Amino acid sequence: MKVLITGGAGFLGRRLARKLLQRGVLRNSTGEEEAIDRLVLFDVVKADGFTDPRVLAVTGDLADPLAISDLVDTDTASIFHLAAVVSSQAEADFDLGMRVNIEALRLLFERCRQLEHRPKVLFASSVAVYGGELPEIVRDDTALSPKSSYGVQKAIGELLLSDYSRRGFIDGRGVRLPTISVRPGKPNKAASSFASGIIREPLNNEATVCPVTADTRLWLLSPRQAIECLVWAHDLESEAFAQHPVLNLPGVSVTVGEMVDTLGRVAGKPAIDKIRWESDPVVQRIVGGWPGCWDMTRAHALGFTGDQDFEGIVRAYMADDLAPG
Active site residues: 150
Q: Out of 17, 39, 62, 233, which residue is the one contacting ligand NAD (CB under 6 A)? A: 62
Taking the least distance from each CB to ligand NAD, the nearer of 249 and 260 is 249
Q: Out of 36, 57, 83, 182, which residue is the one contacting ligand NAD (CB under 6 A)? A: 83
Closest residue by beta carbon to ligand NAD = 10
Going residue by residue from 216 to 245, which x/- string records binding to ligand NAD, judged by CB under 6 A? ------------------------------
238 touches a copy of itself (CB under 8 A): no
- 265-302: burial string, b at 16+ Cβ within 10 Å, e else: ebbeeebeebbeeeebeebeebbbbbbbbbbeebbeee
Answer with the entry of ligand NAD, a copy of itself, none that 254 interacts with (C-beta below 5 to 8 A by kind). Answer: none
d(CA 209, CA 119): 43
Residue span binding ligand NAD (CB under 6 A) among the ranges 59-67, 72-80, 205-213, 233-241? 59-67
100 touches ligand NAD (CB under 6 A): yes
Answer with the entry of a copy of itself, ligand NAD, none that 94 interacts with (C-beta below 5 to 8 A by kind). Answer: a copy of itself
Beta carbons of 61 and 44 less than 8 angstroms apart? yes
| 260: helix, strand or coil | helix
Residues 241-280 that bind ligand NAD (CB under 6 A): none
Task: Give the H/E segment covering residue 255.
Answer: strand 252-255
94 touches a copy of itself (CB under 8 A): yes
Residues 1-30 that bind ligand NAD (CB under 6 A): 6-7, 9-13
d(CA 203, CA 267): 7
Residue span binding a copy of itself (CB under 8 A) among the ranges 19-27, 80-88, 127-135, 294-302? 127-135
d(CA 153, CA 173): 17
269 touches a copy of itself (CB under 8 A): no
Radius of gyration of the chain, Cα coordinates, nearest whole angstrom: 19
| Sign of the alpha-carbon dihedral angle for 129, 226, 182, 103 | negative
Cα angle 110, 113, 118 (rounded to 5 degrees) comes to: 130
Cα angle 222, 228, 233 (rounded to 5 degrees) comes to: 125
254: cis peptide before it, omega within 30°? no
313 touches ligand NAD (CB under 6 A): no
Beta carbons of 182 and 225 less than 8 angstroms apart? no
102: left (phi over 0), alpha (psi -120 to 50) or beta: alpha
Least Å distance, CB 291 to ligand NAD, is 12
149 touches a copy of itself (CB under 8 A): yes
149 touches ligand NAD (CB under 6 A): no
Taking the least distance from each CB to a copy of itself, the nearer of 204 and 284 is 284
Torsion, CA 180, CA 190, CA 108, CA 56, rounded to 10? -70
Interface positions with ligand NAD (CB under 6 A): 6-7, 9-13, 43-45, 61-63, 82-86, 100, 104, 124, 126, 177, 179-180, 188, 190, 192
